[in-house]
Amino acid sequence: MVNKNMSVLVVDDLGSMRMQIRDLLWQMGFQNILEARDGNQAIGLLERSRVDFIISDWSMPECDGMELLRHVRSSENYAKLPFLMLTALSERENVIEAVQAKVSNYLVKPFTPESLEMKMRAILGCKEPLWEK
Amino acid sequence: MVSEIVVNEFVAEAREHLGNTECDLLAMENCAEGESCGVIDRIFRSIHSIKGGSGTFGFPAVMELSHAMESVLLLFRKGVAEPDHEKINILLQGVDKLKSMIDDIHSSSKIDCRSELERLNAILPACGKSGGGPSQKELKACSPPPGSTDRSSPPPGGSIKLSIKGADHTLVTFLPEAGQISSALSMQHFLFAIRADEDFLDKLLEFGLCLAVSVENRADGSCHYLFSTILEPDLVATALSISNEQIQRIDPETLRLALIAPPLPETAAEPEAKKQKEKTPETIRVNVELLDILINLAGELVLGRNQLRQVLEATVDTNPRLRSVIQNVNLVTSEMQAHILQMRMQPIRNIFSRMHRLVRDLCDQLSKEVELLTEGGQVELDKSILEGLIDPVVHIIRNCVDHGIETGEQRSAQGKRRKGQIRLLASHEGGQVSITITDDGRGMEPEAIVEKAVIQGLLSPEGAGRLSEKDKLALIFLPGFSTAKTVTNVSGRGVGMDVVKTNVERFGGHVEIESVKGCGTTIRIRIPLTLAIISSLIVGTADQRFAIPQENVKELVCIPAEDKRRRIEKVGVAPVLRLREQLLPLVRLTEAAGLSPTFVHPVTEKRLPERRKNIADRRENPQRRDREEDRRRSPQSDIYVVVLKVVGNLFGLIVDELFNIEEIVVKPLSDHIRDCRCFAGSTIMGDGRVAMILDAAGIASSAKLRFAEVQNEQLRRLACQSKKQDSAVSGVSTLIFKCAPDEQLALALSSITRLEKISANGIVRIGNRDFINYRGKVLPLMRLDTFLPVSPIQRNNEELHVIIPKLPGIELGILISEVVDVVELFSKPGKSSDNPPGIEGSAVIDGKITMFLDMEELLRIFNKEGGLN
């Protein structure tokens, strides 16, 4: 059973995208959702609060998703943090680069609510659907 | 389903991104090769964001177009294509189309963007259509590959035996940990048997996990790895740089069956920590209407605060705690008001950015070359003002490009740079924001404008003569004025310039214009920083109160009744005030506001109607002037002048009373009096009465002040003065004073520290020397008659003055009876050998012989006589 109290950090420079993901996460029953506009803000949040799961966009101003991923993987506390890259970059080399950087999984935009749920389920290794209703 | 809120947010964000993209595209075109990297990245990101969002939220048409644009941008980024004028044109058209789609997002699919797509796709090289169509790639479960499972029971220690067909179609056996397998399965990893060399392990670990190595060893030293990864099957070969023959996909079902007793996987869920959810600093979009209500309420609150303060003022002493409460309310109100006003502020960059596009499009249309430079985009303005500014600025810039800037050939022929330049500059200027639009085009000819205005009957030929250059140019702002077509040697501007003026003045701004023929034209728009609440000086006249915006007030001058004659003069028929050698035209507030003037009777102190028209007192007869009951000399007849600043000119406004400076809430004028040019608005005072807010520029123009005439007079005087100066050193401020009624003495102001008024009783005489108590110290006094051949101070003088000269280390006062004036002297006092010691020389000032003191000599004598020990 997935702990729905886990705190999920949504990183995207597009506010509407964050809103959409947050809505979906709510529908899955996740209570603690943090948001960040870019990698730098996300890193700041990681330092200040508990984060159990990251869903991050790739291309963002300042510090992009890949930089964030590398930062997370190289840090002591968060090396194993589930990290879902949610990106419209769909080229082969992008995917390979992300996997090489030890992304937990990736999802290509545009995505459906179902595909997001599936990816999260995969990362969390959970069999039951995450949807609340 | 995506909620409407998310869609609205997306629309707002997409607009923002598109706005930025437009600017960036224009910037990219102008910046040098190699510098454009950052800009391309930004554009790419914006379009990319729109693409990602539109697809997810269900707007495929937007996605398709943005994807095509993204592909083109990718070519720039990779350096495959150059962002030239033509390609940027196409991208800009794409931006336009995206904008119109975003504007009507739910019908975006109905908007035809085929031509844009075609043009964009045409840029993409036929071969490298990198991601030609919108990518819909999603990770899906793949069809089960062939494979078999050994159903033997799991060996002890949690390992299972897995025998499957390997990449080389032989049977391969793995002994992986059951836990690892089930974990990989639950995480939906893809599993492969990969045949490779022994040292391939490191490469594998870059992309996933190796769960086991095959038991069998091949003769060629290769072995099989049980590889678990999130990489899609079709990417594995690429990622690992191996051939597809080396890879064998393992069906997850096969593995599931292999796990006889699959242990429950430990998931990544971490122990619950009771931590508060942290909010990140965020912006939210607020309805402007709501903001406006808030601003109005804040305004009302300020009014209420003012009223409260006034009501409580009387009782504040009876209850000491009241004061701090009032102060607190005061502070909070002011702060709140400031913050609320801040909410409506937006950087002017928002409208500047549109102008780049405008100039670019105009240039294409008119085949001209113009670059637009902007500066001060960070200056913030109220949103409503900002919106109101768009039209005037567009109009002015259109005129600049259309009429101001010459064609490239003309410019080259004149020796100018081929490319015209328009500078758009915003800056803060004493509580106002100034927007300057300068072009380096052909400029305007004032005479031609005047001629045209006279022909059009907007100006009488006599009136024309009195206009300054600036006033002449300003004629183009007159409604109905047009130089278009008929007057060809003028730039043809003025078309609709009255609309510009009206628009700008609607929110309290001013427009002015300067032009040098052949060199260009500058149009300056000045606008108040904010509309709602302004700091104002409250003045009164004829029992009415008025507010003057603080930013218009340069200074306040009080002219004592007896000085009127000296300070107020006439130039032509207009009264002017002489203020530090500057002549300021004067206007009575009563006249400007259309009130009948009043005065306070010096004896009865009643307010009576004033019949006198002249402000200046021109009577020469000293006897009459000295009559005590003459009200022209009573303190009630002192004149208060508020010196107002209007676009570069100063003038004096005569008011009867001066009150406080207050924060007032601007209420718009009601429709009935909107045409009254003297008022900018109205406000409600603390006592509930209405006060009109004066519009300095309106007053100046309705009083038909002739700044040019006054300036000419001033120049004439300056010329006279400099003529005088030729024979002198330079102007020396000199104090003229007296010890005895008929003897005038002088001392340069630069050698004086202070001038103190003392009472004769305060002088203490010890021996033959006088002292006073000056700032807690004993100050020895010098009586000039002791050392100089001058008359002594008369005994009956009760009020005396002490000059404290600037003498390093020496404290000393010179006793005098009367201070006459401070004058600027341009000639040195005449020296003669028979001057007594202590007198430097003499001169005639105001018709009287005046002796100049020699301070150093005086001090020497004073010391010799034992004046100082």
Q: What value, to the nearest 5°, has the Cα angle with vertex B527 and ends B521 and B532?
A: 170
**A13 falls within a domain:** yes
Q: What's the burial of B571, exposed, middle or buried (CB within 10 Å: 0-12/13-18/19+)?
A: middle
Burial B512-526 (b: 16+ CB within 10 A, else e): bbbbebeebbbbbbb
Q: Tokens standing for B679?
A: 């008022």
Query: What pLDDT, on a 0 to 100 scale, did the predictor assign at position B531?
Result: 53
A52: nearest CB among B55, B57, B270: B270
- Which amino acid does the sequence have at B109? S
The answer to whether the Cβ–Cβ distance between B270 and A3 falls below 8 Å is: yes
Nearest chain A Cα distance for residue B340, angstroms: 24
| Closest-approach residue (CA) in chain A for B64 | A110
A34: nearest CB among B189, B206, B280: B280
**A131 falls within a domain:** no
Query: What pLDDT, on a 0 to 100 scale, did the predictor assign at position B560?
Result: 79
| Residues B453-493: tens digit of each pLDDT | 888 777 777 777 777 777 888 888 877 676 554 433 333 44
Query: What pLDDT, on a 0 to 100 scale, did the predictor assign at position B313?
Result: 78
When pLDDT is cut at 50, 70 and 90, the band that residue B49 belongs to is: confident
Residue A4 reports pLDDT greater than 80: yes
Overall fold of domain B346-528: Heat Shock Protein 90 (3.30.565)
- Which amino acid does the sequence have at B45? R
Rounded to an integer, the average pLDDT of B644-670 is 78
Rounded to an integer, the average pLDDT of B514-523 is 86
Whole-number Å distance between alpha carbons of A33 and A52 = 10
Sign for the pseudo-dihedral over CA of B719, B724, B728, B734: negative
Helices (H), B726-782: none
ipTM here = 0.81
CB B561 within 8 A of CB B600: no
| Residues B109-149: tens digit of each pLDDT | 888 888 888 888 888 764 344 443 333 333 333 333 333 33
DSSP B761: G
Determine if residue B755 is left, alpha or beta; phi over 0 gives left, psi from -120 to 50 gives alpha, anything else beta.
beta
| Residues B165-179: tens digit of each pLDDT | 777 777 888 888 877
The answer to whether the Cβ–Cβ distance between A2 and B131 falls below 8 Å is: no
Query: What pLDDT, on a 0 to 100 scale, did the predictor assign at position B532?
Result: 55
A88: nearest CB among B3, B51, B273: B51
**A114 falls within a domain:** yes
Rounded to an integer, the average pLDDT of B678-692 is 77
Same fold, B346-528 and B540-610+631-695: no
At the top level of CATH, which class does the domain B4-123 belong to?
mainly alpha
Length, in residues, of chain B = 869
Residue pointed to by tokens 């993901």: A21
Whole-number Å distance between alpha carbons of B405 and B440 = 7
Q: Tokens standing for A90?
A: 């769909």
**Among residues B786, B784, B756, which one has the least CA distance to residue B768?**
B786
The answer to whether the Cβ–Cβ distance between A14 and B139 falls below 8 Å is: no
Residue B574 reports pLDDT greater than 90: no
| Closest-approach residue (CA) in chain A for B44 | A59
When pLDDT is cut at 50, 70 and 90, the band that residue B264 belongs to is: very low
Residue B857 reports pLDDT greater than 50: yes
Query: What pLDDT, on a 0 to 100 scale, did the predictor assign at position B484?
Result: 53
Sheet with B764-766, strands from edge to edge, namely: B752-759, B799-805, B813-816, B777-783, B769-774, B764-766
- Residue B404 dihedral angles phi and psi, to the nearest 5°: -70, -55
- Tell me the angle at which helices B497-506 and B383-399 cross, rounded to the nearest 10 degrees: 170
- Tell me the angle at which helices B60-78 and B37-57 cross, rounded to the nearest 10 degrees: 160
Query: What pLDDT, on a 0 to 100 scale, did the predictor assign at position B492?
Result: 42
pLDDT: which is higher, B508 or B260: B508
The answer to whether the Cβ–Cβ distance between B272 and A36 falls below 8 Å is: no
| Closest-approach residue (CA) in chain A for B183 | A125
**Among residues B39, B52, B26, B258, which one has the least CA distance to residue B152?**
B258
Report the CATH number of the B732-864 domain: 2.40.50.180
Number of domains composing chain A: 1
Q: What value, to the nearest 5°, has the Cα angle with vertex B526 and ends B521 and B532?
A: 160
Torsion, CA B225, CA B226, CA B232, CA B235, rounded to 10: 0
Cβ-based contacts of B137 with chain A (< 8 Å): 90, 108
Helices (H), B580-704: 589-593, 622-625, 696-702
Considering only B31-35, B55-59, B328-332, B468-472, which range has the smallest mean pLDDT? B31-35
Whole-number Å distance between alpha carbons of B581 and B718 = 9
Which residue in A10, A20, A35, A111 has the most chain B C-beta atoms within 10 A of its own C-beta, making it the best mutation to test that interface?
Answer: A20
Specify the pTM: 0.47
Strand B744-748 vs strand B732-738: parallel, antiparallel, or unpaired? antiparallel
Structural domain range at position A40? 7-124
**A1 falls within a domain:** no
Which residue in A16, A20, A45 has the most chain B C-beta atoms within 10 A of its own C-beta, making it the best mutation to test that interface?
Answer: A16
Rounded to an integer, the average pLDDT of A92-97 is 84
Rg of chain B on CA atoms, in Å: 43
| Residues B13-35: tens digit of each pLDDT | 898 888 888 888 888 877 766 66
Query: What pLDDT, on a 0 to 100 scale, did the predictor assign at position A11?
Result: 94
Query: What pLDDT, on a 0 to 100 scale, did the predictor assign at position A31?
Result: 83
**A109 falls within a domain:** yes
Whole-number Å distance between alpha carbons of B441 and B492 = 12
Rounded to an integer, the average pLDDT of B60-66 is 89
When pLDDT is cut at 50, 70 and 90, the band that residue A121 belongs to is: confident
**Among residues B371, B418, B355, B394, which one has the least CA distance to residue B30?**
B371
CB B639 within 8 A of CB B588: no
| Residues B351-396: tens digit of each pLDDT | 887 888 888 888 888 888 888 888 888 887 877 788 888 888 888 8
| Residues B631-647: tens digit of each pLDDT | 555 666 678 888 888 76
Domain boundaries, chain B: 4-123, 162-258, 289-344, 346-528, 540-610+631-695, 732-864
Query: What pLDDT, on a 0 to 100 scale, did the predictor assign at position B683?
Result: 79
When pLDDT is cut at 50, 70 and 90, the band that residue B610 belongs to is: low
Q: What is the CATH number of the domain that holds A69?
A: 3.40.50.2300
What CATH architecture does domain B540-610+631-695 belong to?
Beta Barrel (2.40)
**A66 falls within a domain:** yes
Whole-number Å distance between alpha carbons of B36 and B9 = 30
B45: nearest CB among A36, A59, A123: A59
In sequence order, which residues have a C-beta less than 8 Å from that of residue B325 and are 6 or more positions away?
none
Residue B448 reports pLDDT greater than 60: yes
Residues forming a β-bridge with B514: B522
DSSP B166-180: -TTSSEEEE--BHHH
The answer to whether the Cβ–Cβ distance between B63 and A15 falls below 8 Å is: no
Q: What is the mean pLDDT of chain B?
A: 76
Whole-number Å distance between alpha carbons of B647 and B141 = 74
Torsion, CA B119, CA B121, CA B123, CA B128, rounded to 10: -170
3-state SS, residue B619: coil
Q: What's the burial of B641, exposed, middle or buried (CB within 10 Å: 0-12/13-18/19+)?
A: buried
Residue B152 reports pLDDT greater than 90: no
When pLDDT is cut at 50, 70 and 90, the band that residue A68 belongs to is: very high
Query: What pLDDT, on a 0 to 100 scale, did the predictor assign at position B438?
Result: 92
DSSP B346: E
CB A100 within 8 A of CB B206: yes
Nearest chain A Cα distance for residue B297, angstroms: 30
Rounded to an integer, the average pLDDT of B401-425 is 87
Cβ-based contacts of A84 with chain B (< 8 Å): none
Residues forming a β-bridge with B227: B192, B210
Sign for the pseudo-dihedral over CA of B204, B206, B208, B212: positive
Query: What pLDDT, on a 0 to 100 scale, did the predictor assign at position B636?
Result: 64
| Widest CA span in chain A | 38
CB B858 within 8 A of CB B772: no
Nearest chain B Cα distance for residue A31, angstroms: 9
3-state SS, residue B762: helix
